[in-house]
Amino acid sequence: MQVVPVFVVAFFFCSSISAALPDRTRQLVGHGGPVNSVAVNHDGTRALSGSLDYSVILWDLTHDAPGIIKRFVEHRGAVSEVQFVPGSNLAVSAGDDGIIYLWDTLQLKLLHRFSGHQAKVVAIDFTPDASRMASASWDGSLRVWDMNTRTPVNSIQVHRQTLHSVLLSDDGKTAYSAGHDGHIRQWNVASGQMLKVLHNHGWPINLMRWLPERDKIVFGTANGDVQILNVANANIEKILIPHAKPVLGLTVSNSSGLLASGGNDGAIRVWRIADWSIAGETHGIPGPVWSLAFSDGDSALFFGTLDDQTRYWKISPEDDTEWAHNQRLRRFQVNTGLPLGELQFARKCSVCHDLQPGQTNRAGPSLHKLLGRKAGTLPGYTYSDALKHSKLVWDRETIERLFVQGPHRVVPGSKMPLQKIPDDKKRAALIEYLAGQ
């Protein structure tokens, strides 16, 4: 038998514990579902996060442990985009309900709803002076809004496929669109006419951001590419190291000249725009990187992934963070090891609901003692008018109808997402499980 010297064992033991663990003191903890979007304001004192739990949270970053200032719960669907409005105390959020919400972050209230899109809104951009805002939606359209009057300027139907990203020129007269068809198009906002196709990538383009001089666009794609497009001559000026899977997060710092990309491969790369050298890189994040925002003087990044909290990474050139340390499967990722009814709850319901009595910070209300409860009556939860005014009582029959027909038919106008369970055995097991809670 081979004997391993003591010093070798000690070396490997020390090496295994020398890797950095995730910094949990700076994480933004408070959502009840995965975080889809995060933003930090111009002076780094506040952050916004938007989640699958239908809420937007405003955070205080002035202390070592960030604190919740306000949870906004007016959304009627998952939140996919949050941004601070340049040069102001305002912020916007958008998501599955197709509405853009304008918030006052000082008075902590909703100021306005921008309505018009017919599907999920996934991207927003502003002119530097915040006089105009552009939005992109899965309905295939981009819309431009006057922020002073809070009225629409124009709506441009790009195509019938999903639109993923939009940018505005400095004067707000030109818009740029990108989406599922892989084209970056340039538009005259006033006339709605397409000026030219700047680039055809061949794969869907997921995101676009302006570089600091606002004459070049960085875009991330479904095949993992991160490339730099010169708007004036429509040439690709730089191709960065690609991600192994789709690019889902991009952010640019105008103050420090940094660019960060995150992907479905669980990797983040930070680039110095001046010479395209790598300022930091990390891998092994257990889940997709959906959103990114520079923080702490651009020395760190907040990012959203499958967690209910926004994670924090101190940018480092060495990939030494053990992201999977003590990481467990999320409640909705469980595939085996539970009785059938409990497994169905974990897979189908737990993203939006829990089983604890009282209030919940998830997208839906608690399902504790659900049977016999009149719909829309649990204290502390913001129900849709449709559910509050319904005469529905949750019993075995109504829950059966819900998972056979879908919420949109049982309670039209409800916030509940489409969720069906066609398998009779699984559906019956879930209902029996809920009856026992």
State pLDDT tens for residues 39-72: 999 999 999 999 999 999 999 999 999 999 999 9
Instruction: Report whether pLDDT(226) > 70.
Output: yes
Per-residue confidence band for 2, with pLDDT thresholds at 50, 70 and 90: very low
Instruction: Report whether pLDDT(256) > 80.
Output: yes
Per residue in 75-122, pLDDT (tens digit) is: 999 999 999 999 999 999 999 999 999 999 999 999 999 999 999 999
pLDDT for 216 equals: 98
Instruction: Report whether pLDDT(402) > 60.
Output: yes
pLDDT for 60 equals: 98
Share the mean pLDDT of the chain.
89
The whole-number average pLDDT for the span 241-248 is 96
Instruction: Report whether pLDDT(38) > 80.
Output: yes
Least confident segment among 146-160, 169-183, 395-409: 395-409
Strand partners, 143: 135, 155
Per residue in 353-377, pLDDT (tens digit) is: 888 887 677 777 888 888 888 888 8
The whole-number average pLDDT for the span 214-231 is 98
**Percentage with pLDDT > 70 across the chain:** 92
Domains of the chain from N-terminus onward: 22-314 (2.130.10.10), 331-435 (1.10.760.10)
pTM: 0.84
